[in-house]
Amino acid sequence: MKECSTPAQIKACRALALERNRQLFENAHALNRAANEMLETDNLDFEQFERYRAMRKRADLMFEDAIDHLCVLNEDFPPIPMSSHNSVQLRRELETTA
């Protein structure tokens, strides 16, 4: 069965997927920051350094997952092109808020 989606449905799905992707990147950044904080201790020993390396590896894998997720997202839900009218209106809104 072929699924037909309206532009509004596609836009909503893309927005939801983009929010999930933002969360994936945010989690990876948080883990990366936590790992880097481990290096700031005064007496860093081998065991602590190995925990740091494991955290960094998990963070790197999380970043890779987030990037892969974004690639799939852009394939499945490509951005809907803006009409020239909407583009001009958006530019005016941005200029007035700046």
Cα 79 to chain centroid, rounded = 16
Is 17 part of a structural domain of the chain? yes
| Residue from 93, 66, 77 nearest 14 by CA | 77
The range of the structural domain enclosing residue 37 comes to 7-97
pLDDT band at 87 (very low <50, low <70, confident <90, very high): low
CA-based radius of gyration for the chain: 20
| 5-22 residue pLDDT tens | 788 888 888 899 999 999
pLDDT at 1 over 50: no
Please state the domain count of the chain: 1
Q: Which two tokens stand for residue 86?
A: 């909407």
The count of C-alpha atoms lying within 13 angstroms of the C-alpha of 87, restricted to the half-sphere facing its C-beta, is: 5
Which token pair is 17?
Answer: 């997927």
2: in domain: no
pLDDT digits (tens, 9 = 90+) for 39-86: 998 888 999 999 999 999 999 999 999 999 999 998 888 776 665 556
What angle, rounded to 10 degrees, do the helices at 7-38 and 46-76 form? 170
